[in-house]
């Protein structure tokens, strides 16, 4: 799954918008082997654990709290 995200980021020229359930938009990008998400306030989270399978899908663990635009 994380490799698919990397492909989508490449296809979009280096950044891919990700809509949240709350109506915000995060920007996904990567540097080296790290996938990052930037919220609308400019906070950057790095995916620390990718592709954690759950009963209802797959999650990715990040190292920063993401907040809606303030």
Domain boundaries, the chain: 2-62
C-alpha separations of 10 from 13, 30, 33, 57, 67 in Å: 5, 9, 13, 23, 25
Report yes or no: 34 and 6 within 8 Å, Cβ to Cβ: no
Report residue 1's pLDDT band, with 50, 70 and 90 as the boundaries. low
Per-residue pLDDT reduced to its tens digit, 21-66: 889 999 999 999 899 999 999 999 999 998 899 999 989 999 999 9
Higher pLDDT pick, 33 / 1: 33
Model's pTM, two decimal places? 0.85
Cα gap 38→28, rounded to integer Å: 7
CB 38 within 8 A of CB 17: no
The whole-angstrom separation of Cα 34 and Cα 7 is 13
């Amino acid at each position: 799954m994380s490799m698919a995200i990397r492909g989508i980021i490449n296809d979009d020229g280096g950044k891919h918008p990700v809509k949240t359930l709350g109506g915000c938009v995060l920007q996904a990008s990567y540097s080296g082997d790290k996938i990052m998400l930037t919220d609308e306030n400019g906070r950057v989270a790095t995916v620390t654990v990718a592709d954690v399978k759950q009963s209802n899908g797959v999650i990715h663990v990040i190292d920063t709290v993401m907040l809606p635009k303030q």
